[in-house]
Structure 1
Amino acid sequence: MRATVLLVLLSLLFEATLARHVDWVPCPHSVSPSPTGKKPVITLAPQFQINIECNILQKNTSFDIIEYVDEINNKAAVFTTSSYHSVSQFYNYEKYEIFTVINGTCTTKDMRANGSYGFIGYTPGKSGGHVMSVKDLLMFGEEYNDTYVGPATVRGIPVDHWTTCVHAPAFNITVTMDYYFNRPEYKTSSGDVVPVRLAINGTSPNTRDPSGKLQPGSHEFRHNYEFIYYKPGAVDPTIFQTPKGVVCPGRINIKSLPNITDQFTLDGETVHQSSKSVDMIKEFYDFSAKMFRFDRKLKHSTRRWNRNMTAKYGAANLKFIHDYNAGLEYVIDKEKGNCTIHPIPLLAWDGEQMPDHHHLRMKHSYEMWEGQMFNNLNTSYEGQRMIRDIPADVWVTSFPSRWNKSHYVTSEVYFTPANWTYTVENNENETIVPVATWMKFGSGNKSYEFFMNIFEFYNGHPDEDSFDISSCYDQPKQKQGMVFRVVGNYLDLVYEKKRPLLKAVKNAIAKTANISSIRVHDIFF
């Protein structure tokens, strides 16, 4: 309940010209206090959810508000529904930001700017703002000359009635506010004394007409706010985050994206909502070797790309190896060993076309599976969401589609938080590991989206065997064997260094023969 009065009092009542820094002073009123002289004690929770029916009587209109406030963690969110649209607002007090989302489109405003304070005000501080305290939000307390009137009945509920009057001399606005809280003997669903109604009556100068001309004179207003549901206590922290896939241009990025190295392996599970299908994928990426491989199981798939690949290669369990040293793609049937070799497609998602539109360069890891997050000013940290019961850190961005510049791609990436460990290959523990990505192409009925769970992520060079293409050169005329001898002590030179030595010998032979290293295989000592 802490945020509601000025929500209506300033944001909905007096136009954008009356910023949150209006100086309000108590004004005298003629209401007689309760003859008993006893004031009930009103205690309101610092964390709560409240649902309000807002009746603007002088305009014959109503709208609904669901409001969440967490004064302890300095967060707030407001969801408004009216006859013409729905609006969601999210407050980042540390950076004085308000994110307003309407129909999936977000705008970012500085709440310190005139007219941008939103529904819930702030208190400035040395290291950022803070959600307003209860007394300032409610204008309820001795400094506002509140008066306990006595018992009453509202909507059949026995209540205690309070009233107060405030005046803004700079704008010639006078407001009387009547508060109604249930009496303690009336048991609410929360078991607490909760707000039941707030009635606001007053006078205000006329505002500007549609042409922007200031209208002379003043007008009276009458508002009744019915508090339908009130739940004190901790609020789900995801309530205070902007929705999935919503990018807020101009948002301050409060946490940098983790670095992704240029070598990794992973297993992925890709969920396609539109086709109601799930694909499995493996990826092996090594930028220093200029190699990329991905494996797809395409059997019974309903997706067009998968059906096309199955028809083209006559197989459903394929691995695709892209050798950027030679510019070749190897498509290998993992069950039968059949192999097809051709140039890497110009639209390969791991490649970027050169200016001549005939050649490709290999993308860095961050360019490939995170879209353009690292190079995009729109990339921003959203907060945490639960992914497979992991409270993952989430970043979001948007950028033009590479296939159609008039369409935008929205992308999110999810990482384990720094206080979680992730056990990877060789039982090593890592932190801040990617666990999922999400992408959406286009909008409306023409949109397409997929979500990929990431498993077994290993932040290191793939094994040499990961890029094995020996089945593509299985005919005797396609092979050339060689034997050479190196003089030295096997135990000193080879025994504990066999893996790096094999890689060094392989690269040396490839360089001498002027071929790609993946065409050198079956080296043994």
Structure 2
Amino acid sequence: MAGSPKRLPIYSILQIYLVSILCLQYVVADDYCKATPNATPGPQDPPLPTLPKSFQTRIEANIIDRHYTMAAVEYVDDDNNRAALKMWKNGVETDVFFDYDNNQLFSIVDNMCVVTNLSSDPNTVIFGGGDTPPGGIPHVYTTAGVLHFAKQFGEVYQGKATIRGQQANQWRSCLFWPNVNANFTVDYYFSDPSWNTSSTMTAVPLRADVNGVYVIAQIEPVSFHHVYDFIDFRPTVPDDPSLFETPPGVSCGGRKKVRDMPKLKNSYYYREEIISEDSQSITQADVWYNYDWKLVRYDKRAQIAQAPYWNLNPITEIHDYNTGVAYAMDNVIKNCTIMPIENATWDSTFNGSTNYIYLRNPQSLFFLDSSYSYSGQRKARGIDCDVFTSTRTDFDNSPTVFEMYFLSDTWYASDNKGLDQTTIDIPIRLTVTAANDEAYPTIYELYDFDQEIPDIQTAYDVSRCYSDMDKIDFRITFPTTAGELLNEFRAIFIDKSIQLISSLAGTLSLVRITKAEVHWNDNNVYLIATLLDKAPPIAKFRKQAGKIYQYKNAMQLQGVQDPASCAEQCDSSDQFTCNSFDICAGKQICSLSQDYASDGSKLGDSLECDHYTRVLNTRVDQEIALNDAWIILTDQVVKGTFQFTILLDDNTKQVFKASDITSDILRNPNRQASKTALQHFTGSANKEVKGFDDLILTGMSVDDCANECLGEVIFTCQSFEYCYDTGYCVMSQQHPDERPDLIQASDHCDLYTRQYTAKFTETPGVTVLSASDTIYQNIFTDNQCAKLCVDYSEFDCKSFDYCPNINTCFLGKKTCI
């Protein structure tokens, strides 16, 4: 308010009365005392105490001539060239931080910070400063310098004294400070070495008593008397860097940027825990972000039962900024709603001039920009962090302090994701505090922060948002003998395949190629995946009910009955880029426009019409229909243009070129099957027999495959592999019991072995055929022995004995009954 007096910070008041610095003209003070810089100690005088370079102490300052008392806590860290002072007067706290390395002083009152140049600030008189060393950067004085106690001042021993009940030695100095035109004596009191104090030192400072005069602008000298008591003096500083750093929740505008803030990569995953002390709540979320793919996913629990979920279940939302579409999935009910991305979401930025939204870049997702400055190191969750601070007005329409904690460069994180074993410069915590507000900050704890590109198949799967009618399952064949390389390069093969399909098939959004997997044998590699239909066009537009965009129609269509049909016309228009439309369902009129009007400022009211405006700022050319995308993809494979290269570890290149594509496959993840045919087989999950693929059938269920094996007439089918994700049925005349060394693990298929023991009744612990002439050794299962009996032709084998302890099989002509 104009005319109101300005309150000086406490440290300025202390400075004025401590060393009598007044910003007025001075005349020379009368001689109050005479300095004795060359005083010689008497033979019985105790030696001057040896003081540490670093220390901490509490101070009580009694400014007697002004009738007030101040309290302070002082820390001087000479090793790290820094100091800090906390002072209290009339219940108001002032914190002062001295950054000598960077010539900065920070003074904080009521969470408001002022930054000044340390070399020109008057506080350097009490805390160092004075003469400037070479290079122009002031250096914190030793303790003797801070207390103005050293031999060059000519201290004279005064004898014994008692201070606060403690035995002490007293010295006196006479000082004249021409820069403040003051002449005064300082009586120093140090504890007597025979007195045991709380410190490890034999003599600690107890008091400084200052008496003198100063002269102001040709006026008579003015007397002053200050008494400073030093309490709990210690020759060390706490091992806590935060004591010398500006406190959390305070932003110091104009602070020098002595360290660049780390830059986030274009892709990352993290788990966050949001702590709000105001609401006494903790919420969690998992976030996947890829700026290059323009995709964001976050998993959380709904906090309010509202659209589109209407419950509080765990949810997944995937935002596709290629199309402006959000996929909202309930992870309990397993339903999905396809809708526009709202401009109120945390990952979007609203462009007010053109009225569309776009994806925040990797930095702005956390509101990181050039306004941040380095605030020093603090601990978060016991981790050393470099803290960067900014005061922003673009978060909650009011000044808000953002503090981002990055992992210190002396630490590293070893995560359990991706290929990189260690990560550096990762965010650990973000705190958001309203400036000049006593509310608690909101704390975002960031865990498992990983900046590798996520697996698109698991991170951005929207397949459950589409029915089987909106999908095409397909298989692409690559003739090659290099399949074994994919044991190491499987993920790279899948990623390159998806990227190529996206670019060739009409530039599809990557979320439309899903459930990709790769298989191989000695001669071929097979890519199996699912192609999804385009998102409903209506999901790309935001509705404003009861509004109309008057006089801005580029085209008007008759006979359009609903918003979905009008959105289809707008999205597929090839005459101009349609960015908004009005639908008057009662009149069946669809009006298309090239303009955006999502903020509502250009719209008029209507009782019959609704306005829809596009979420994104351009026409989405990549959203071609499912069948059109399939035709383009098939054409590329047939033409021989579907190929890509993988760079191997030895810097050689492996080319994969597709030769065939088919949609005649069955993808059925359900392993449930009837026992009609399968009762003749024993199943082994995730197993296969390599190299004995006598017949391969596709597009059938596991029951169909079992029936085909039993009914095969060209050869005797002894086993089959069934791949549930693809509907592959691979039959073999090799019985796995005869070559167990060929059985190997499989990611996607199960092995079914012909079960011959079903034809026999087991009688445990009984043998009747030990005298049999037909004996087989090295038989590893009872099923293998049963097969020998069934297939034996020399006589009608009716029973067998199997001894697993000696791996021996005895065949017999009779039963034991």
TM-score (norm 2): 0.56
CA offset at residue 489 of structure 1? 4.8
Counterpart residue number, 2:538: none
Contact 2:86 2:94 in 1 (8 A): yes
What do residues 106-159 of structure 1 show as CA deviations (whole Å, max 9, x unaligned)?
000002226353641225234532101344333323321110011112222211
Cα distance in 1 for partners of 2:158, 2:435 equals 58
Alignment check: 8 A CA contact 1:54 1:62 kept: yes
Give 1:233-244 correspondences, 5 Å limit.
Answer: 233-235=236-238, 236-244=240-248
Identify which range, 487-496 or 218-227, moves more after superposition. Answer: 487-496
- For the residue of structure 2 that corresponds to 1:130, the secondary structure is coil
The question of whether the paired residues in 1 share the 8 Å contact of 2:305 and 2:311 is answered with no
Does the Cα contact within 8 Å between 2:304 and 2:311 map onto a contact in 1? no
The answer for the alignment partner of 1:303 in structure 2 is none
Q: Matches of 1:125 and 1:171 in 2, distance apart?
A: 21
Q: 1:223 to 1:443 in 2, by over 3 A?
A: closer
Counterpart of 1:110 in structure 2: which amino acid?
N
- Checking the alignment, whether the CA contact within 8 Å between 2:267 and 2:452 is kept in structure 1 is yes
Match for residue 374 of structure 1? 369
1:224 equivalenced with 2:231 (yes/no): no
Alignment of 1:387-466 (within 5 A): 387-404=380-397, 407-424=398-415, 425=417, 426=419, 428-441=421-434, 443-444=436-437, 447=439, 449-464=441-456, 465-466=458-459
| Superimposed CA distance per residue, residues 306-340 of structure 1 (whole angstroms, 9 cap, x where no aligned partner) | 22558844242011111000101111112332111
1:422 is paired with a residue of what secondary structure? coil
Q: Shift in Å at residue 292 of structure 1?
A: 0.6
Equivalent residue, structure 1, for 2:318: 321
After superposition, the Cα gap between the structure-2 partners of 1:493 and 1:251, relative to the gap in structure 1 and judged at 3 Å, is same
Alignment partners' CA distance in 2, 1:125 and 1:10: 25
Q: Equivalent of 1:166, from 175, 195, 206? A: 175
Letter in 2 for 1:418: D
Which is further off, 454-463 or 508-517? 508-517
* Residue 314 of structure 2 corresponds to residue 344 of structure 1: no
- Asked if 1 retains the 8 angstrom alpha-carbon contact of 2:110 and 2:436, the reply is no
Alpha-carbon offset, residue 83 of structure 1: 0.9
Cα pair distance change 1:129/1:339, threshold 3 Å: same
Question: How do 1:51-200 and structure 2 match up within 5 A?
Answer: 51-83=58-90, 85-113=92-120, 115=122, 117=124, 119-122=126-129, 123-127=131-135, 128-169=137-178, 171-192=180-201, 193-200=203-210
Tell me if the contact between 1:202 and 1:220 (Cα under 8 Å) persists in the aligned partners: yes
Q: 1:272 aligns to what?
A: 276
Distance 1:494 1:183 in 2: 80
Letter in 2 for 1:125: P
Deviation at 1:197? 1.4
Q: d(CA) in 1 for partners of 2:488 and 2:143?
A: 69
Amino acid at match of 1:231: R
SS of the residue 1:499 aligns to: helix
State the Cα distance separating 1:215 from its structure 2 match.
7.5
- Alignment partner of 1:282 out of 267, 282, 286: 286
* Match among 501, 516, 519 for residue 509 of structure 2: 516
**Structure-2 separation of matches of 1:170 and 1:506:** 76
Q: Quote the residue 2:20 is aligned against.
A: 14
CA distance in 2, matches of 1:96, 1:146: 32
Measure, in 1, the Cα distance between the counterparts of 2:299 and 2:475. 33
**2:172 counterpart letter in structure 1:** T
- Aligned in 2, Cα 1:284/1:309: closer, same or farther, shift over 3 Å? farther
Cα distance, 1:344 vs. partner? 0.8
For residues 56 and 348 of structure 1, do their structure 2 counterparts lie closer, same or farther at Cα, with a shift above 3 Å needed? same
Take 1:198 and 1:403, find their aligned partners in 2: how far apart are those partners?
50
2:358 matches 1:361: yes
- 2:145 partner SS: helix
- Residues 323-381 of structure 1 show CA distances to partners (whole Å, capped at 9, x for unaligned) of 00010111111233211121111122111112445321111111102x1x3332xx111
Report which stretch shifted further, 161-170 or 495-504. 495-504
User: Residue 35 and residue 112 in structure 1: after superposition, are their counterparts in 2 closer, same or farther (change >3 A)?
Assistant: closer
Aligned amino acid, residue 222 of structure 1: H
Segments of 5+ residues of structure 2 without an aligned counterpart are: 1-11, 518-525, 527-817
- Displacement after TM superposition at 1:191 (Å): 4.1
Please say if residues 35 and 154 of structure 2, whose CA atoms lie closer than 8 Å, have aligned partners that are also in contact. no
C-alpha displacement of 1:486? 4.8
The 1:490/1:335 distance shift into structure 2, 3 A limit, reads farther
Deviation string 1:446-490 (CA, Å, 9 cap, x unpaired) is: x463212222121111111200001111x2332234455555555
8 A Cα contact 1:110 1:116, kept in partner: no
Structure with larger Rg: 2
Partner residue of 1:250?
254
Q: Is the 8 A contact 1:48 1:234 kept in 2?
A: yes
Where does residue 733 of structure 2 map in the other structure?
Answer: none
Instruction: Quote the offset at 1:7 in angstroms.
Output: 11
Tell me the distance in 2 between the aligned counterparts of 1:343 and 1:8.
Answer: 61
Structure 1 contact 315–333 (Cα < 8 Å) conserved: no
Scaled by the length of structure 1, what TM-score is found? 0.86
Distance 2:301 2:218 in 1: 69
> Secondary structure, in 3 states, of the residue corresponding to 2:197?
coil
2:369 counterpart letter in structure 1: F
CA contact (8 A) 1:26 1:145 kept: no
Q: Tell me the amino acid that sits aligned with residue 351 of structure 1.
A: S
Q: Which is bigger in relative contact order (C-alpha 8 A, separation at least 6)?
A: 1
CA distance in 1 between partners of 2:17 and 2:373 (Å): 28
2:132 maps to a residue whose letter is: P
Structure-2 separation of matches of 1:397 and 1:497: 43
SS at match of 1:509: helix
User: Would you say how many aligned residue pairs link Structure 1 and Structure 2?
Assistant: 493
Per-residue Cα deviation, 1:242-276 (whole angstroms, up to 9, x for no partner) = 00121111111211111210101112222111111
Gaps of 5+ in 1: 1-5, 207-213, 299-305
Determine if contact 1:408/1:441 at 8 Å carries over to the other structure: yes
- 1:493 and 1:61, CA in 2 relative to 1: closer, same or farther beyond 3 A? closer
What is the rounded CA distance, in whole Å, between the counterparts of 1:438 and 1:313 in structure 2? Answer: 30
Tell me if structure 1 keeps the 8 A contact 2:32–2:213: no
Instruction: Report the aligned-residue RMSD.
Output: 3.0
The residue number in structure 2 matching 1:479 is 471
Amino acid at match of 2:250: V
